Amino acid sequence: MTQSKRKKKKILVVGGAGYVGGSVTDILATQSDKYEFRVYDNLMYEDLYRKPVNFVYGDILDRTKLKKQLAWADAVIWLAAIVGDGACQLNENLTRQTNQQAISWLARNFSGRIVFTSTCSVYGAQHDLLLTEDSLVKPLSLYAETKHQAEHLLKNKDAVIFRLGTLFGVSDLFSRIRMDLVVNALTARACLGGTLNIFGGDQYRPLLHVKDAAACLVKALDFKKQTGSEIFNISKTNIKIIDLAKQIKRSFLKTKINLTEMSFEDARNYQVNCQKAKKYFKFQPKYSIKNGIEEVADLVLNNRVKDFTNPRYSNQIFLKDILNKK
């Protein structure tokens, strides 16, 4: 049977209006011969969804509405979550409902392929090891804990789970950029002549461009595997925060670096091994840290992001404002 006559796979991108969803939907749109897709999102961080793709407004806690969309879909790319340590700490009940209980419900109510975004934060502080998917997990925050619990809830499902490194870069032309991510935040400050305040500096982070993350998520839709879930680490590189700051400074020579003592919030320290993703997905990230620095600088210097400290660019600050208004 030719490709044109094959039945298209129906994909529901849950939480698809966000940072990662921007790149995911761009990729899916280029593969319209294979996939028909819809975005399902509650627009927590947006007033409108302007992207010209099939969109359904809805919350993952609205089980009736979501169940109708799942009945349509052959596969789900699940991006919906409260993301980040600070944002998750604001309301533990909401975090557990969103990051954990919703996945428990999904596991009971959907039998198709689930592509799920977890986080390398589940590894906690293990700086002296190159961590694989079989390494011990030591979540230090509610965010990491709920993501690890979600992984467990999907253990016996047809699920492909990605433990993402810390993301950076520009996703697409429509979704808001996150300026609470280390590469993006330091770059924005540096290109405006600000001082880079680095806590500790010797701690490692695995970093990954948002577009490389999205490419893996889409590839996972057709990944052939055995029964049960599969977990993959994905990152471009492991780098010390101080070395990242120095790399950014080389692009903005007037920038100064200020080192301060590390707090608990910055105690995560880990390096990950991505050989499994390279083996099964031929994972070869296309975008470098330098690419991400250039993208973010272009947004800021050309006034496409007028104020990078605006609460809408930070998950924690924006969610805090929402919760305070309730």
93-108 tens-digit pLDDT: 999 999 999 999 999 9
Least confident of 55-64, 112-121, 190-199: 190-199
What share of the chain has pLDDT > 90, as a percent? 87
CB count within 10 Å of CB 5 equals 6
Comparison of pLDDT for 12 and 128, the residue scoring more: 12
Write down the pLDDT at residue 264. Answer: 54
Are 13 and 38 in contact by the 8 Å Cβ rule? The answer is: yes
> Looking at the 3D structure of the chain, how many domains does it have?
1
CB count within 10 Å of CB 95 equals 22
In Å, how far are 23, 81, 88, 280 from 147, measured between CA atoms? 22, 9, 11, 23
- CB-based contacts of 54, cutoff 8 Å, min separation 6: 37, 38, 39
Please name the residue ranges forming H helices in the chain.
19-30, 63-72, 85-89, 92-96, 102-109, 142-153, 182-191, 210-219, 241-251, 275-281, 289-301, 315-325
pLDDT digits (tens, 9 = 90+) for 21-67: 999 999 999 999 999 999 999 999 888 999 999 999 999 999 999 99
Region 269-276: mean pLDDT is: 95
What pairs with residue 35 in β-bridges? 9
Which domain CATH number covers 89? 3.40.50.720
Range of the domain at 210: 3-325
In Å, how far are 64, 119, 258 from 199, measured between CA atoms? 45, 21, 9
pLDDT, mean over the chain: 94
What pairs with residue 118 in β-bridges? 163
Picking from 201, 205, 191, the residue whose alpha carbon sits closest to that of residue 248 is 191
Are 121 and 139 in contact by the 8 Å Cβ rule? The answer is: yes
pLDDT digits (tens, 9 = 90+) for 198-231: 988 999 999 999 999 999 999 999 999 877 899 9
Taking each helix axis as running N to C, give the angle between helix 63-72 and helix 102-109, from 0 to 180 degrees, rounded to the nearest 10.
Answer: 40
Write down the pLDDT at residue 200. Answer: 87
Tallying the residues shown for the chain, one arrives at 326
Q: Is 284 exposed, middle or buried (0-12, 13-18, 19+ CB in 10 A)?
A: exposed
pLDDT at 263 over 70: no
Count Cα atoms within 13 angstroms, Cβ side, for 108.
7
Computed on alpha carbons and rounded to an integer, the radius of gyration of the chain in Å comes to 19
pTM for the model: 0.95
Are 229 and 157 in contact by the 8 Å Cβ rule? The answer is: yes
Q: How far apart are CA 134 and CA 140, in angstroms?
A: 18
